[in-house]
Amino acid sequence: MRSVFAFPCLLLVLSATGMLHAQQEQVIYDEADVPKFTLPDPLVAADGTKIESAQAWNEIRRPELMGLFEKEVYGKSPAAPEKIAFEVTESSDDALGGKARRRQVAIRLTDDPEGPVLNLLVYLPKTDQPVPTFMTLNFFGNASIQDDPAIQLPQSWLRNSTDKGVDNHKATEKLRGASSSRWPVEMIVENGYGLATAYYGDIDPDFDDKFQNGIHPYFYEEGQTEPKPDQWGSIAAWAWGMSRALDYMQQDNEIDGSKVIVMGHSRLGKTALWAGASDPRFAAVISNNSGCGGAALSRRRFGESVKRINTSFPHWFCDNFTKYNHNEDACPVDQHELIALIAPRPCLVCSAVEDRWADPHGEFLSAHFASPVYELLGVEGLAADEMPKVDEPVLSRLGYVIRPGKHDVLKSDWERYMQFADAHLLGKGN
Ligand code: GCU
């Protein structure tokens, strides 16, 4: 009897250890384990032509790389709608105890009256001039960023969280200000910047439902039920939604539409990079702890790998990206080329020491290897050849900073973002 039971038990133990081992093997946390790899050269076209002028970059290589990222990584998004319908739903010139103006704007993402609506919350300093403005999506709805009773609670699906006051996927009053540590609104406004934010789930709820809800179905062809392998996943949809917010912002006289800085954290950092690459109207891009599929080089496989991200979040990228699971070297692009697509606009890549899952060194290397494109376009690239020390920010036009601490957005991070924007968009001293 004993042996009959012992055998399957042993098998179970062995396979459980095997699985654990396989999982442990997959996550590289040691530089010594990073495989050798060769990066595609952003300045060599697919047919081998060397790209030696800004014109050749703009006419040959940039469109080629855009096409490759669309086809193989994020998926192609639909064109911008011809016109954008919006309605200012709330407005106050006496927000934040009289320090700011607040606007809430409902932006219709399709011409279907039942279609998704992006609710944009805007805080602006009190000035008569149009202001440079940060545009960033949020994870839990606009009401989570600031304890301000005038902010409408989100109506869309939310990820459950007791801490944030989300119950049964719906917002409760407890949500108000629950993420405020990441959003130093007063400080931003006092420094002369506007802040525009919207809930990413207004565009596409962040779970894998094979694209039945959110924005995707509004663009299906007759009979289509989910995006094709080269069509937009959720990251591309969120980025597309940011461009719709920018459509609105560019015609709002209170905002300087030529100075909108797209910023994002984590999965929304990946989104900010793709939004900045695909929409040149964004004047500058800031990626915070964006990691795999964001600023980190995929070929390093350090921390989160392509296979892991595609398995845990099958809806984020296009289906073609799964071809590169455990097969990163076959991908015709890597993430330094995503940053190159932002050139010559200012771009700041931000890492955190304890955020090893996002591969800080890989994030630095992406900026480093994008640098030649900035230089070819006649502007300063990353002013560091080596990974800078912690808390020694390199705030060149293509910048990189690593700070102590965890995967998060801190008030001190926002100080850096503004210092960076001051220098590169407003021409103020660094
Ligand atoms: C997970 C995921 C990351 C992502 C992060 C986030 O950790 O693996 O890729 O950046 O979630 O968005 O919070």
Query: What pLDDT was estimated at residue 430?
Result: 53
Residues 315 and 371 grouped into a single domain: yes
Residues 109 and 231 grouped into a single domain: yes
Residues 38 and 104 grouped into a single domain: no
Hey, whose CA ends up nearest to atom 12 of ligand 1?
Answer: 267
Q: Please give the number of the atom of ligand 1 that sits closest to the Cα of 316.
A: 9
> What angle, rounded to 10 degrees, do the helices at 62-69 and 267-278 form?
140
> Which parts of the chain sit beneath pLDDT 70?
1-25, 430
Residues 115 and 67 grouped into a single domain: no
Provide the number of structural domains found in the chain.
2
**Has residue 387 been placed in a domain?**
yes
Residues 344 and 238 grouped into a single domain: no
Closest to 357 in 3D by CA, of 308, 318, 391? 308
**Has residue 117 been placed in a domain?**
yes
pLDDT digits (tens, 9 = 90+) for 35-88: 999 999 999 999 999 999 999 999 999 999 999 999 999 999 999 988 889 999
Residue to mutate, 164, 304, 406, ligand 1, most ligand atoms under 8 Å from C-beta: 304
CATH code, 42: 3.40.50.1820
Q: Please give the number of the atom of ligand 1 that sits closest to the Cα of 265.
A: 12
Looking at 163-266, list the stretches that DSSP marks H as alpha helix, in order from N- to C-terminal side: 185-190, 234-250
CB of residue 304 inside a 6 A radius of ligand 1: yes
**Has residue 66 been placed in a domain?**
yes
Tell me how far apart the alpha carbons of residues 110 and 420 are, in angstroms, rounded to a whole number: 35
Domain that holds residue 150: 85-259
**Has residue 178 been placed in a domain?**
yes
Q: Please give the number of the atom of ligand 1 that sits closest to the Cα of 268.
A: 12
Ligand 1 centroid, distance to 268 Cα (angstroms): 9
Q: Is 420 helix (H, G, I), strand (E, B) or coil?
A: helix
CB of residue 189 inside a 6 A radius of ligand 1: no
**Has residue 278 been placed in a domain?**
no
Residues 345 and 233 grouped into a single domain: no
Task: Give φ, ψ of 383 to 5 degrees.
Answer: -85, 50
Number of alpha helices (DSSP H) and beta strands (DSSP E) in the chain:
10, 11
Tell me how far apart the alpha carbons of residues 255 and 258 are, in angstroms, rounded to a whole number: 9
Residues 97 and 216 grouped into a single domain: yes
**Has residue 430 been placed in a domain?**
no
CB of residue 265 inside a 6 A radius of ligand 1: no
CB of residue 309 inside a 6 A radius of ligand 1: yes
**Has residue 413 been placed in a domain?**
yes
Residues 132 and 253 grouped into a single domain: yes
Q: Which one of the listed residues 266, 287, 290, 298 is annotated catalytic? A: 266
Residues 91 and 67 grouped into a single domain: no
In the annotation, is 266 catalytic?
A: yes
Tell me how far apart the alpha carbons of residues 401 and 274 are, in angstroms, rounded to a whole number: 20
**Has residue 196 been placed in a domain?**
yes
Residues 65 and 162 grouped into a single domain: no
Give this prediction's pTM.
0.94
Residues 295 and 418 grouped into a single domain: yes
CB of residue 303 inside a 6 A radius of ligand 1: no
Residues 168 and 306 grouped into a single domain: no
Closest to 289 in 3D by CA, of 206, 220, 358, 212? 358
Closest to 268 in 3D by CA, of 250, 247, 244, 285? 285
pLDDT digits (tens, 9 = 90+) for 226-285: 999 999 999 999 999 999 999 999 999 999 999 999 999 999 999 999 999 999 999 999
Helix or strand (DSSP H, E) at 368: helix 360-376
